[in-house]
């Protein structure tokens, strides 16, 4: 009919590239395409997977129209998910095609899993019986289908026995349904004993998860208050009514312990989703999430884009964690997108943290979010006794960075055969190297940062872009030999100092540049938990949810790092980090100590940490943000200009700034003030835009970018918008 009338059907398709709108494709007659279908379409010289979208085909030159190649045999992307893509695109000012691309990151999953060959017993008997054959028949007698290797393994016989029987027609081959990647969780499996406070909180969350309806609950509980047990009850409630659950975890690759705890509660592990998943497993999980077979996913931020068929709850664990923020391509904060996802899907969202973000606290205060406080500590977990070491009064000896007070405490801890953790959030040996003769400082040629000496690797490394070079012997400026001096400490240097004081102790350095990658790191963390180290010197990596039962001393080497770096979130971040780190001690209930080296013990962050009075800190910080119109009151955004050549990026950034609409509402900071960095081979400039009134910063940025000269060639412009309240 279409052919006769000359009007074949046209449908928009979102293709995985930075297109501002879906492209139009012709639908071949009889092809079952509907909005949401995942389709294969020609795009330029190649074939890509795209998502059939809503609306009519648009007005495209009919000569350009090409036909959809095929529809994948795959559950369609739901309308809910398509609205989610559109919303994220508008909110983040990213092309919808790039957002859609995040949904299509498991290409192999669009085709059904090829069925496994299985064997089932027939009525035929073998010509001769042997003990091996007897065993195989015994196992297969129940009529279940077995895989060839599975049966051989279970019967303890070789594959040739099975093959022999199959050849004689004793087994017939059948198609096995795809194996589930994870066993289904049982909400009744390991119901925990909850304290009164926990039980009350759990009941509240259970109620919300047990019916339809959007809500956001901030689960705010001190370290060791048992937040996880509490939100597991919400998970159980959602599972009981047949809903799928997503638990977002920052950096899941390192948190094996979480999967174990989940197993203890639900009798099986959740599907885990993160970037270094093996492709095959990735595809199976994607597919089975879409088909509803996987009930619970624990994953990194990208799990938000899995095609759940019936999602009924999202938990964002450690909701304050900066790892939730994606800072390339599409700039988004998964915590906020999770809230919006719940809003669109009409189900509850739980944000859990011992140190909530200021944004979430403000949202709770204003009544947009519910807030549950777990104040009492659970079972035998005790917080350490915290003390500040005033570095002006108890300074380190010359050439060192550890106060005698801290060194003494380490010694005492060693004597008790317990573990110490020294925390310093700085990788490498020394953050700055300079020439004693001419004052030359080693700086990254591409960025605005100093080169950090890594003595173990014998390199100077830029922590921004990874630029590195061997440590030279002579100053490149004045040529003087052997007069380069390392300034300030990194973890390697602290370990060296510790070795000097305690040569017999087993000291280990933990940081992200540990040789051997994530796997090695996981092993080392386990070894430490088993007591195979006395002193651990680590970066923020040690702050994340690991339990070290024998750790009874935590020393913060330089608590002031990051307090004065100009970041509007500096105080918040420091507070969160120090809370997390000091919470590593005393998890076994043993008496433990936290010593915090600082030059400003009167600083509100230090006082909050030492006194344990976080309420005072939050009140103060929220008032401060409001006064200076910083997020979440005023709005902050960055325009990121990137190019292969530094000059190009700089030039375009300048042009953009000139294009900024004159306004008393917004202030733009130009290239001169914007730190330059090199990421993935591209020089990036950030233009900061600060909204001091309730202006729509998105509209402003849109106008600014539209007015400015169009970037040519390899120059790209992206926008990073800070979270706001969007409910």
Q: What are the Cα distances from residue 457, in Å, to 400, 424, 513, 594?
A: 22, 19, 10, 31
Instruction: Point out the annotated binding site.
Output: 435, 438, 444, 447, 462, 465, 475, 478
Beta carbons of 702 and 617 less than 8 angstroms apart = no
Taking the complex as a whole, how short is the minimal distance between the CB of residue 95 and DNA, in angstroms?
9
Taking the complex as a whole, how short is the minimal distance between the CB of residue 101 and DNA, in angstroms?
7
Closer of 10 and 518 to DNA (Cβ): 10
Closer of 359 and 446 to DNA (Cβ): 446
CA atoms of 565 and 562, how far apart (whole Å): 5
Closer of 19 and 665 to DNA (Cβ): 19
Instruction: Please report, as residue ranges, which positions from 579 to 618 form the binding site for DNA (by CB under 7 A).
Output: none
Beta carbons of 540 and 568 less than 8 angstroms apart = no
Sheet hosting strand 370-374, strand order edge to edge: 271-273, 296-299, 244-248, 311-317, 348-353, 215-221, 370-374
Taking the complex as a whole, how short is the minimal distance between the CB of residue 658 and DNA, in angstroms?
21
3-state secondary structure of 428: coil
Q: Which stretch binds DNA (CB under 7 A): 398-406, 533-541, 655-663, 711-719?
A: 711-719
Q: Does 58 bind DNA (CB under 7 A)?
A: yes
Cis ω before 632 (30° cut-off from 0) = yes
Question: Considering only residues 128, 627, 647, 712, which one is a binding residue for DNA as defined by CB under 7 A?
Answer: 712
Instruction: Please report, as residue ranges, which positions from 624 to 683 form the binding site for DNA (by CB under 7 A).
Output: 644
Taking the complex as a whole, how short is the minimal distance between the CB of residue 611 and DNA, in angstroms?
47
Taking the complex as a whole, how short is the minimal distance between the CB of residue 79 and DNA, in angstroms?
21
3-state secondary structure of 96: helix
Closer of 32 and 44 to DNA (Cβ): 44
Beta carbons of 452 and 467 less than 8 angstroms apart = no
Q: Does 470 bind DNA (CB under 7 A)?
A: no
Binding residues for DNA, total number by CB under 7 A:
24
Q: Which stretch binds DNA (CB under 7 A): 316-324, 560-568, 583-591, 707-715?
A: 707-715
CB count in 10 Å sphere of residue 647: 9
Instruction: Point out the annotated binding site for Zn(2+).
Output: 435, 438, 444, 447, 462, 465, 475, 478
Rounded to 5 degrees, φ, ψ at 625 are -65, -40
Q: What are the Cα distances from residue 57, in Å, to 13, 27, 100, 327, 397?
A: 9, 10, 18, 33, 74
CA atoms of 397 and 212, how far apart (whole Å): 63
Closer of 128 and 712 to DNA (Cβ): 712
Closer of 23 and 378 to DNA (Cβ): 23
Both tokens assigned to 497: 């100092």
Q: Which stretch binds DNA (CB under 7 A): 63-71, 107-115, 338-346, 491-499?
A: 63-71
Instruction: Please report, as residue ranges, which positions from 126 to 145 form the binding site for DNA (by CB under 7 A).
Output: none
Instruction: Please report, as residue ranges, which positions from 26 to 45 form the binding site for DNA (by CB under 7 A).
Output: 26, 41-45
Task: Please say whether the dihedral angle defined by the alpha carbons of residues 49, 52, 53 and 59, taken in this order, is positive or negative.
Answer: positive
Q: Which helix (H) or strand (E) holds 229?
A: helix 227-240
Beta carbons of 302 and 102 less than 8 angstroms apart = yes
Closer of 329 and 590 to DNA (Cβ): 329
Please give the torsion angle defined by the CA atoms of residues 184, 185, 186 and 189, in that order, rounded to the nearest 10 degrees: 130
Q: Does 393 bind DNA (CB under 7 A)?
A: no
Closer of 27 and 296 to DNA (Cβ): 27
Taking the complex as a whole, how short is the minimal distance between the CB of residue 579 and DNA, in angstroms?
37
Taking the complex as a whole, how short is the minimal distance between the CB of residue 678 and DNA, in angstroms?
15
Q: What mask, x for binding DNA by CB under 7 A, covers residues 1 to 30? A: ---------------xxx----xxxx----
Question: Considering only residues 2, 34, 66, 694, which one is a binding residue for DNA as defined by CB under 7 A?
Answer: 66
Beta carbons of 23 and 15 less than 8 angstroms apart = yes
Question: Considering only residues 261, 329, 368, 522, which one is a binding residue for DNA as defined by CB under 7 A?
Answer: 329
Q: Which stretch binds DNA (CB under 7 A): 60-68, 227-235, 343-351, 353-361?
A: 60-68
Beta carbons of 309 and 75 less than 8 angstroms apart = yes
Classify residue 691 as exposed, middle or buried by CB count within 10 Å of its CB (0-12, 13-18, 19+): buried
DSSP string covering 250-314: TTGGG-HHHHHHHHHHHSSPPEEE-TTS-HHHHHHHHHHHHTT---EEEE-GGGGGS--SSEEEE
DSSP string covering 128-153: S--HHHHHHHHHHTT---B-HHHHHH
Question: Considering only residues 1, 3, 30, 46, which one is a binding residue for DNA as defined by CB under 7 A?
Answer: 46
Question: Considering only residues 3, 64, 393, 398, which one is a binding residue for DNA as defined by CB under 7 A?
Answer: 64
Contact residues toward DNA (CB under 7 A) are: 16-18, 23-26, 41-46, 58, 60, 64-66, 329, 644, 712-714, 716
């Amino acid at each position: 009919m279409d052919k006769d009338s000359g009007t074949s059907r046209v449908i928009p398709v979102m293709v995985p590239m930075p297109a501002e709108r879906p492209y139009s494709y012709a639908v071949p007659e009889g092809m079952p395409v509907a909005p949401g279908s995942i389709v294969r379409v020609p795009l330029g010289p190649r074939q890509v997977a795209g998502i059939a979208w809503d609306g009519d085909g648009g007005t495209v030159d009919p000569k350009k129209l090409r036909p959809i190649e095929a529809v994948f045999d795959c559950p369609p992307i739901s309308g809910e998910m398509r609205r989610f893509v559109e919303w994220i695109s508008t909110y983040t000012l990213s092309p919808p095609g790039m957002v859609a691309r995040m949904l299509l990151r498991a290409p192999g999953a669009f085709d059904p899993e090829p069925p496994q060959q299985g064997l089932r017993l027939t009525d035929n008997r073998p010509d001769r019986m042997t003990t091996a054959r007897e065993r195989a028949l015994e196992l297969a007698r129940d009529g279940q289908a077995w895989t060839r290797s599975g049966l051989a393994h279970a019967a303890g016989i070789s594959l040739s026995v099975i093959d022999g029987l199959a050849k004689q027609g004793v087994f017939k081959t059948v198609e096995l349904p795809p194996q589930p990647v994870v066993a289904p969780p049982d909400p009744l499996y390991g119901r925990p004993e909850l304290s009164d406070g926990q039980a009350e909180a759990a009941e509240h969350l259970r109620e919300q998860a047990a019916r339809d309806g959007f809500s956001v609950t901030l689960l705010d509980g001190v370290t060791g208050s048992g937040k996880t047990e509490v939100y597991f009850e919400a998970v159980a409630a959602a599972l009981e009514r047949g809903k799928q659950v997503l638990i977002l975890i920052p950096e899941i690759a390192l948190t094996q312990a979480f999967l174990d705890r989940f197993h203890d509660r639900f009798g099986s592990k959740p599907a885990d989703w993160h970037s270094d998943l093996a492709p095959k497993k990735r595809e199976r999980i994607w597919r089975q999430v879409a088909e509803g077979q996987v009930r619970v996913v624990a994953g990194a931020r990208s799990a938000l884009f899995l095609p759940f068929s019936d999602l009924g709850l999202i938990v964002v664990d450690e909701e304050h964690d900066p790892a939730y923020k994606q800072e390339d391509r599409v700039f988004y904060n998964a915590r906020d997108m999770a809230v919006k996802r719940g809003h669109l899907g009409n189900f509850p969202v739980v944000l859990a943290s011992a140190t909530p973000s200021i944004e979430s606290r403000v949202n709770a205060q204003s009544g947009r979010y519910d807030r549950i406080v777990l104040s009492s500590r659970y079972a035998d977990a005790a917080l350490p006794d915290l003390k500040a070491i005033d570095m002006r009064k108890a300074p380190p000896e010359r050439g060192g960075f550890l106060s005698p007070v801290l060194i003494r405490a380490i010694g005492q801890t060693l004597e008790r055969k317990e573990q110490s953790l020294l925390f310093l959030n700085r990788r490498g040996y020394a953050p700055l190297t300079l020439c004693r003769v001419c004052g030359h400082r080693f700086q990254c040629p591409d960025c605005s940062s100093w080169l950090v000496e890594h003595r173990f690797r014998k390199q100077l490394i830029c922590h921004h872009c990874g630029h590195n070079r061997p440590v030279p012997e002579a100053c490149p400026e004045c040529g003087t030999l052997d007069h380069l001096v390392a300034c300030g400490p990194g973890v390697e240097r602290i370990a060296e100092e510790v070795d000097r004081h305690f040569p017999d102790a087993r000291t280990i350095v933990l940081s992200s540049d540990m040789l051997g990658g994530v796997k090695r790191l996981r092993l080392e963390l386990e070894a430490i938990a088993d007591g195979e180290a006395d002193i651990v010197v680590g970066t923020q990596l040690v702050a994340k949810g690991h339990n070290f039962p024998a750790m009874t001393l935590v020393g913060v080497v330089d608590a002031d790092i990051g307090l004065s770096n100009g970041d509007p979130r500096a105080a918040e971040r420091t507070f969160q980090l120090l809370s997390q780190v000091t919470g590593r001690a005393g998890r076994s209930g043993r008496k433990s100590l936290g010593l915090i080296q600082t030059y400003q013990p009167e600083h509100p962050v230090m006082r909050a940490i030492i006194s344990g009075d976080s309420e005072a800190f939050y009140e103060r910080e929220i008032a401060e943000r409001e006064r200076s119109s910083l997020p979440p009151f005023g709005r902050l955004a960055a325009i990121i200009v990137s190019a292969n050549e530094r000059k190009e990026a700089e030039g375009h950034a300048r042009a953009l700034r000139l294009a900024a609409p004159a306004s008393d509402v917004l202030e733009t900071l130009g290239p001169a003030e914007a730190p330059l960095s090199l990421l993935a081979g591209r020089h990036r400039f950030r233009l900061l835009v600060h909204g001091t009134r309730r202006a729509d910063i998105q509209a402003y940025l849109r106008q600014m970018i539209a007015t400015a000269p169009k970037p040519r060639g390899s120059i790209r412009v992206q926008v990073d918008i800070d979270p706001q309240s969007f409910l």
